[in-house]
C-alpha cells in the first residue's frame, strides 16, 4: 500500500534570485560588503566586549568566537532585486 506524504511535492522549477546584483560592478559590491563588515564587527566588539576581554578564553577560543561573530554579517542581503531591501545599503547609508 502507498502512503501519502504530509508534505507537498517540490515545485518543478524553483527560481532563486542571485545573491549579488548582476548589474552592479563587482567593485561596488565589494566596497559595500567591506563597509558593512566594519560596522558589523565594531558593533559586535562593543556588544561582546566583556566576552572578548575574558582572560581565560585563550587564543584558539578567541579566534573561534571572532570568526563565529563575523559570520553573522553574511546573513544580510547586499542586493535589492525584486523589490527587496538592500539591508547593507540601509545600514551604510545611515552611518554616512
Range of the domain at 36: 27-52
pTM above 0.85, yes or no: no
Residue pair 13/69 in contact (Cβ under 8 Å)? The answer is no
Is 33 part of a structural domain of the chain? yes
Structure confidence at residue 89 (pLDDT): 76
Domain count along the chain? 1
- Grid cell 563597509 is found at 35
Contact predicate 81/21, CB 8 Å? yes
Q: Is residue 84 part of a domain?
A: no
Residue 72 placed within a domain = no
Task: Kindly state whether residue 35 falls inside one of the protein's structural domains.
Answer: yes
Evaluate if residue 49 carries a pLDDT over 60: yes
pLDDT higher than threshold 70 for residue 2: no
Any domain includes 42 = yes
Amino acid at each position: 500500500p502507498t502512503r501519502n506524504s504530509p508534505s507537498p511535492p517540490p515545485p518543478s522549477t524553483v527560481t532563486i534570485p542571485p545573491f549579488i546584483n548582476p548589474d552592479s560592478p563587482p567593485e561596488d559590491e565589494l566596497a559595500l560588503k567591506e563597509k558593512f563588515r566594519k560596522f558589523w564587527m565594531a558593533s559586535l566588539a562593543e556588544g561582546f566586549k566583556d566576552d572578548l576581554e575574558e582572560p581565560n578564553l585563550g587564543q584558539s577560543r578567541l579566534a573561534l568566537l571572532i570568526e563565529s561573530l563575523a559570520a553573522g554579517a553574511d546573513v544580510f542581503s547586499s542586493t535589492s532585486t525584486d523589490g527587496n531591501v538592500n539591508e547593507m545599503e540601509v545600514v551604510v547609508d545611515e552611518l554616512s
